[in-house]
Amino acid sequence: MSDNKKKFYITTPIFYASGKPHLGHAYTSIACDVLARWKRKTGHEVFFLTGTDEHGQKVAEKAKENKISEQEYVDSLIPNFKKVLETLNITNDFFIRTTNEQHKAFVQKMLSLCYEKGDIYLGEYEGLYCVGCERYYTQTELLEGNICPDHKKPCVQMKEESYFFKLSKYQDKLLELFEKNPQFLSPNQHANEIINRVKEGLRDISISRNKKTLTWGIEIPFDKNHVTYVWFDALFNYLSALDMNEKMEFWPADVHLVGKEINWFHTVYWPAFLMSAGFEMPKKVFAHGWWTVEGHKMSKSLGNVLDPIQLSEELGKDQLRYYLLSIGTFGDDLNFTKESFAEKINNELNNDFGNLVSRVHTLLTKYFGGSVPSAEKLDKEEVELTMSLNFFPDFDAHMSALRFKEALDLLWEKIRTVNAYINKVEPWKIQDTKRLESVLSVLTFAVQTFARYIECFMPETAQRIRKQYNFEEQDFSSFTAIPAGHKIGEKDNLFSKITLEKKAETKKEDSEKKEEKKTGFASLNLTVGEIIEVSEHPDAEKLFIEKIDLGNGDIRQIVSGLRAYYTKEEMLHKKVIVVANLKPAKLRGVRSEGMILAADDEEHVGLVLADAERGTQISCGKLQANATTRITVDDFFAVEMKSTGKEIHYENTALTANKKALYTDRNIVGNVR
């Protein structure tokens, strides 16, 4: 690559080699890959790093259990990690292993630098240690019974001689870093937690283990009786990988992408180590959320992991890549369900995108024998549509800020605009040949444009579009228009609809029937949701169709009779209360998955609102509205709630969300329905 290209360095954390990779590993790798692909397409020279962290007590224990050496144990796991990368089309430039001899030498060099600076000293450490986390905890950080909050296992009391790093020395410098570089702590919702913890005071940290208790690690160069603690070893991979590839000009890193459980180590330990060793700071550490399964963080120790290879084989690798980055805001905790996966693929990939690519191919074949016509007669509609396809600045801004969902939402807005255009102009009815030529030329251009934008998310799909249209692969630094007479290839249907087995749903319904039926407020599931989309019901002038985000990837479609009382703009982004366990029903042919609470006084209607995050459950004193049993509308109406004008009450007790009272936006005094 040319030396004048702007360099971009992105990393995953190096994944701990103590078992098989799971969906969390795949999620981080896919996100990094999407951004790396985008940066390459926009003219950057990219270095994309991933790899494995292979030292530490947990690895030593696993090797002992398997009656093999530590090196043999980690060697046996590496093919699993590399297979995930290969299966999901991850385009990393290097895969680092911390057992690499060059990495070891680099870490020893860094230890010596920090030691000579006076930032490493010998002392004694005593505390509660979690083997799974490879770290000591304070009493206040643990659950009752000295249980690790992450692994749900008891920590053990340990006391040993150890080398310490003077983390306390860098407290003020870290706070200065956070203040001068606000993007360093990303996304914003994690920043205050880190800043406040640093302000509370930093203690020096143990960075070594005595060989009497652990030998599997990098030997301390100034004391042969100690090996390095895992974080000093692991974090320096981001520099050692550049060093061994002669790519040091890529430092500082543009993005370290990590899971939020290791955010502290990357935003506090890592910059302090770098300051001590004399290196520039990374530009950004972005901590994404967790994927949950049945409300629990995926964890090998809890036994609830999802295998990314199995998922990609079952659901499709491009489909999996798309789903993981489109289901919710990158940075939030999200919940994986096959139901939401099927809905995403069927509605967005199959109905919206796949249908568009197929329709245009069919029209070109039917009317012009598979040749792209010229565009000599562009009407106002075609000009406006072509201009709307120039959305690179907004898309690029979303991608650079790791707003993957927002980038895809923007792309899908354009895809739906083109589909609406086809439905409006009805090319199959156009009698004017010149007009038809222009319409199909513009539509072919739209397909080519969308293939370029979707490629970083769905590389195989983009390749299949290029193949069936005979498009050349192009980046965003240059773009060649489709010449008249260009011949397209053979049609290829991109996606198939997903049909889920109903067995699991039937079991759930059976278990709900067996559950003892609750009554009153306890029979309800009332959840705070944000209205993210409002549209008019196509067949009912008094009904709205709302899309409501309940958090954790739970998007509900609800049909309401609020069209006579609110405009779409008035409803958008309000934090409303949803009856989330109401049995789904069809209202004038459209599926409704719940009900929005509103108060009425027989003349006016006011939405019931909350000042709380999406997904917050509603309380009434000590009662919680978090029932799982589905209820009917009659069951709901049997629970009498009232609005006082300022608060919402059940049996004279105010309803709250996160200890804040619910209210109506129009001070209605009346019944809540």
Q: What is the average per-residue pLDDT within 299-311?
A: 71
Q: Running DSSP on this structure, what letter comes out for residue 574?
A: -
Of 386 and 159, more confident: 386
DSSP letters spanning 180-225: H-TTSEESGGGHHHHHHHHHT----EE-EEETTT--SSPEETTEEE
Helices (H) and strands (E) in the chain, counts: 22, 34
- 3-state SS, one letter per residue, for 456-525: CCCHHHHHHHHHHHCCCCCCCCCCCCCCCCCECCCCCCCCCCCCCCCHHHHHHHHHHHHCCCCCHHHHCE
Q: Which of 379, 378, 327, 318 is nearest to 353 (CA)?
A: 318
663 plus 518 within the same structural domain: yes
Tokens matching residue 88: 């999901």
Q: How confident is the model at residue 474 (pLDDT cuts 50, 70, 90)?
A: confident
Task: Check whether 488 has a pLDDT greater than 50.
Answer: yes
Residue 598 lies in a domain: yes
For residue 505, the model assigns a pLDDT of 44
Q: How confident is the model at residue 508 (pLDDT cuts 50, 70, 90)?
A: very low
Task: Check whether 509 has a pLDDT greater than 60.
Answer: no
Task: Compute the Cα dihedral for 660, 661, 662, 666 and give only its sign.
Answer: negative
For residue 504, the model assigns a pLDDT of 42
Write the pLDDT tens digit of every residue in 207-218.
Answer: 999 998 889 999
Residues in the chain: 673
Where in the sequence numbering do the catalytic residues fall? 22, 25, 130, 133, 148, 151, 297, 300
Residue 529 lies in a domain: yes
Return mean pLDDT, the chain: 90
Residue 11 lies in a domain: no
* Contact yes or no for 125/162 (Cβ under 8 A): yes
In three-state secondary structure terms, 172 is: helix
**What CA–CA distance (Å, rounded) separates 611 from 644?**
18
Strands lying side by side in the sheet with 296-297: 296-297, 291-293, 334-335
Dihedral, 384, 388, 390, 394 alpha carbons, nearest 10: 150
347 plus 434 within the same structural domain: yes
* Contact yes or no for 28/13 (Cβ under 8 A): yes
Determine how β-strand 653-657 pairs with β-strand 618-620.
Answer: antiparallel
* Contact yes or no for 208/229 (Cβ under 8 A): yes
Residue at a domain's end among 469, 492, 523: 469
464 plus 566 within the same structural domain: no
For residue 222, the model assigns a pLDDT of 97
Dump strand ranges (E) for 12-130.
15-16, 44-53, 94-97, 120-130
Residue 193 lies in a domain: no
CATH number at residue 378: 1.10.730.10
667 plus 524 within the same structural domain: yes
CA distances from 403 to 89, 192, 260, 332, 393 (A): 21, 20, 17, 11, 14
527 plus 642 within the same structural domain: yes
Q: Which residues contact 392 (CB under 8 A, 6 or more apart)?
A: 476
576 CB-contact burial (10 Å; exposed 0-12 / middle 13-18 / buried 19+)? buried
For residue 514, the model assigns a pLDDT of 41
417 plus 522 within the same structural domain: no
R_g of the chain, CA atoms, integer Å: 28
Residue at a domain's end among 416, 451, 469: 469
* Rounded to 5°, angle at Cα 183 from 177 and 185: 70
Residue type at position 667: N
Confidence (pTM): 0.73
**What CA–CA distance (Å, rounded) separates 142 from 132?**
14
Beta bridge partners of residue 671, listed in sequence order: 600, 642
Q: Which of 96, 93, 99, 85 is nearest to 25 (CA)?
A: 85
Residue 6 lies in a domain: no
456 plus 591 within the same structural domain: no
561 plus 421 within the same structural domain: no
Q: Running DSSP on this structure, what letter comes out for residue 303?
A: T
Residue 662 lies in a domain: yes
446 plus 570 within the same structural domain: no
Residue 409: count of CB within 10 angstroms of its CB? 13
**What CA–CA distance (Å, rounded) separates 320 from 520?**
41
* Contact yes or no for 350/565 (Cβ under 8 A): no
**What CA–CA distance (Å, rounded) separates 283 from 139?**
34
For residue 265, the model assigns a pLDDT of 97
Task: Return contacts of 274-279, CB within 8 angstroms, 24+ apart.
Answer: 275/170, 275/173, 276/113, 276/114, 276/117, 276/119, 276/165, 276/166, 276/170, 277/110, 277/113, 277/114, 278/113, 279/239, 279/251, 279/252
Q: Which of 618, 607, 615, 600 is nearest to 661 (CA)?
A: 618
Dihedral, 132, 133, 137, 142 alpha carbons, nearest 10: -70
Of 144 and 448, more confident: 448
Write the pLDDT tens digit of every residue in 426-440.
Answer: 999 999 999 999 999
| CA–centroid distance for 643 within its chain | 38
In three-state secondary structure terms, 313 is: helix
With both helix axes pointing from N to C terminus, report the angle between 23-41 and 317-326 in degrees, rounded to the nearest 10: 90
Task: Check whether 302 has a pLDDT greater than 70.
Answer: no
- Segment among 44-58, 125-139, 433-447, 507-521 with least mean pLDDT: 507-521
Q: Which domain holds residue 344?
A: 337-469
- Segment among 170-184, 448-462, 537-551 with least mean pLDDT: 537-551
* Contact yes or no for 275/165 (Cβ under 8 A): no
Write the pLDDT tens digit of every residue in 621-649.
Answer: 888 888 888 888 778 878 889 988 889 99
For residue 652, the model assigns a pLDDT of 87
Domain count for the chain:
2
Q: Which of 210, 239, 237 is nearest to 225 (CA)?
A: 210
631 plus 526 within the same structural domain: yes
Residue 227 lies in a domain: no
Task: Check whether 303 has a pLDDT greater than 70.
Answer: no
Task: Check whether 3 has a pLDDT greater than 70.
Answer: no
In three-state secondary structure terms, 305 is: coil
656 plus 597 within the same structural domain: yes
For residue 516, the model assigns a pLDDT of 47
Write the pLDDT tens digit of every residue in 38-81.
Answer: 999 999 999 999 999 999 888 998 899 899 999 999 999 999 99
**What CA–CA distance (Å, rounded) separates 645 from 92?**
58
Q: Considering the chain, what percentage of its residues have pLDDT values greater than 90?
A: 66
* Contact yes or no for 480/472 (Cβ under 8 A): yes
* Contact yes or no for 307/210 (Cβ under 8 A): no
521 plus 442 within the same structural domain: no
Residue 320 lies in a domain: no
Residue at a domain's end among 469, 502, 528: 469
CATH number at residue 617: 2.40.50.140
Asked if omega into 252 is within 30° of 0 (cis), the reply is yes
Of 317 and 230, more confident: 317
